Amino acid sequence: MDDIPEAREIPESTVEEMVRSIEPTLEPREIDAAERGFCSVYRIVASGSDAARERYLKASPDGRPWGIPTEARIQAILAAHTSIPVPDVFGVVDGHGTLPTPFYLMRALPGEELPYECVSRFDDGVLRRLARETGEHLAELHSVPAVDRFGHVRHDGPELTGGRPSDDPAELTVGDPREDWPTYLRDRVGRELDRHADSRFSDLTDELSQWFAAGIGELEGPFDPVLGRNDHGLHNLLVEPETGEITGMLDWGYTLAVPAAFDVEFAVYLLSGAFLAGLPDVPDRRPLVRDAMLSGYRATAPDRAETLSMPEPLYEALAMVRIMNDFHHLTVPDGTEPAVVDRIRGDVRGLLA
């Protein structure tokens, strides 16, 4: 896995030049660095000819693509073909002689951005609405006719120097594609378990490896690739915390072409907050989240929803491995970390048994 870089700091004068390369008449009035992932992200409040407008500029942290060009294209496609709340993309610059590329400029959306762990603090009604809306949006995402093989989604459109990206799904493609899902899944599991061997849960790696190998060998198709969000943490959503309404779905650079069931099971585990169920006041709400998510999915895509009715433990287990690999990024109350770790180990042991 690539080492995650530190986001480079971009001078304010350069940010202004980047903004104007896309919207020449926009006049930045405020420019603030935003703490968002590892990319260089800036919030821009601009005064135009009519009223103040708010934008976000997202740029590579080090000059490598990091999925940024594809992310902008995916957002343009989703904005045109679905009701998924994604930021409107005003323009993309894939390469430039002097500016730090790639980058794109997007409209700000309402709602609050909350840490990963806050999902475990929502009351049942709020979490149920968030899960149902997630199901509705995933059903729309999975219905976009864009991919026919499995792998990391890329774009195959023309290079842009400030223009709006195309909203044609045909311009999405798959990098290093696989036609066979079990083959691709073995590769993905292998990469995650390589990371797992360096985690604090490494004593489980060998058993997990054997368990996955046996389970993947028993998977039965057919498997149809769809656009899969995969990066389902609460931190990649904008929400109304009092109601659970999703006002924005952010960060599409990790979009994969996968079976719909894979995407749904990942979302159920990550949005249920089950990874924090070791805390005394945090229940395991996977059943609540799964029922609500499938309810939303069924209302939007009833034909496909039937194929999701039976959970697939392999996919949930891979979501657990992701949490274990990134456990050091979680924030838990002081003194509770051993209990959280023990609960995750217990969940994994339950699957292995």
Residue-wise pLDDT for 207-223, tens only, equals 999 999 999 999 988 89
Q: Mean pLDDT in the chain?
A: 94
The CA–CA distances, whole Å, from 315 to 130, 140, 166, 258 equal 21, 21, 32, 11
Nearest partner of 319 among 251, 278, 279, 263, judged by Cα: 263
Which domains does the chain carry?
12-107 (3.30.200.20), 116-147+180-352 (3.90.1200.10)
CB proximity list for 300: less than 8 A, separation 6 or greater: 135, 136, 139, 140, 143
Residue-wise pLDDT for 151-185, tens only, equals 999 999 899 999 999 999 999 999 999 999 999 99
**How many Å apart are CA 252 and CA 70, to the nearest integer?**
8
Asked if residue 50 has pLDDT above 60, the reply is no
Asked if residue 42 has pLDDT above 70, the reply is yes
Q: What is the CA radius of gyration of the chain?
A: 20
Q: Which amino acid is at 144?
A: V
**How many Å apart are CA 255 and CA 232, to the nearest integer?**
11
Asked if residue 49 has pLDDT above 60, the reply is no
Residue-wise pLDDT for 266-324, tens only, equals 999 999 999 999 998 899 999 999 999 999 999 999 999 988 988 999 999 999 999 99
193-220: average pLDDT: 97
**How many Å apart are CA 76 and CA 82, to the nearest integer?**
10
Q: Which amino acid is at 218?
A: E
